[in-house]
Every structure is written in structure tokens, then in C-alpha cells.
Amino acid sequence: MTLVRFHKADGTLDKEVEAKAGQRLLDVAWAASQPLEGACEGVMACSTCHVIVEAEDFAKLPPASDEEEDLLDIAAHVTRTSRLACQIMLTKELESLSVRMPPGSRNWMGR
């Protein structure tokens, strides 16, 4: 199990949930009623599931693909530890993960 901590845009803790290895962070966020749109439903065609990963946890994740990096280029409020929640798969090795919601998002899909 991975302990996932969701923080609001201001950094305050919003919710902690336990998630199983193999789950996508986007699905965990949706189940926890987090404000991630995921307009493309996780097929990596938008950037509305952008999250900011705590630096310590960011280093534990595999690197983003070129396609994910391209989508992050059009996301709002991107930082050096930004990722798309649809591309973060929880693993047995990842004991905890802390992410912060950005203060806003852009939906380039026109929905």
C-alpha cells in the first residue's frame, strides 16, 4: 500500500488515502474527490490532471516521457516537480507520495 497525501494549492493537507500498487494516481485522486479534471480521462491528451509532486517523492518516480513533458509545457502553474497524475503508477516500492494541487488549470481540449 502507498499512503497518498493530497495537499491543497496553499500547501495545507486536504486528505490522506491508502492506495494499492498498480493504481494510477489520477484514479486514486478521483476516488478521493480531489479537484483533478482529467478531461481526456487519462489517455494523456490534456494537462488537466497536473499535480506538483513533493521534491523528495519526485526523485522516486520514473522520469516523464517526452509526450508528458510536452503536455506539461502547456499546463498552468508548472514547477520542476510537476507531473500528470494519469502517468504516475503507484508501486510496491513507493511507500508514500505527497502531491499538491496547482492553483488552477487550463483545459486545451475545449470541453
Is residue 52 a contact partner of residue 82, using CB atoms and an 8 Å limit? Answer: yes
Residue 31 to residue 37: CA distance in whole angstroms: 12
The model's pLDDT over 36-61, given as tens digits with 9 standing for 90+, comes to: 888 888 888 888 999 999 999 999 99
Q: Which domains does the chain have, with CATH numbers?
A: 2-100 (3.10.20.30)
| Sign of the CA dihedral running 61, 6, 99, 39 | positive
**pTM, whole model, 2 decimals?**
0.89
Residue 111 to residue 108: CA distance in whole angstroms: 8
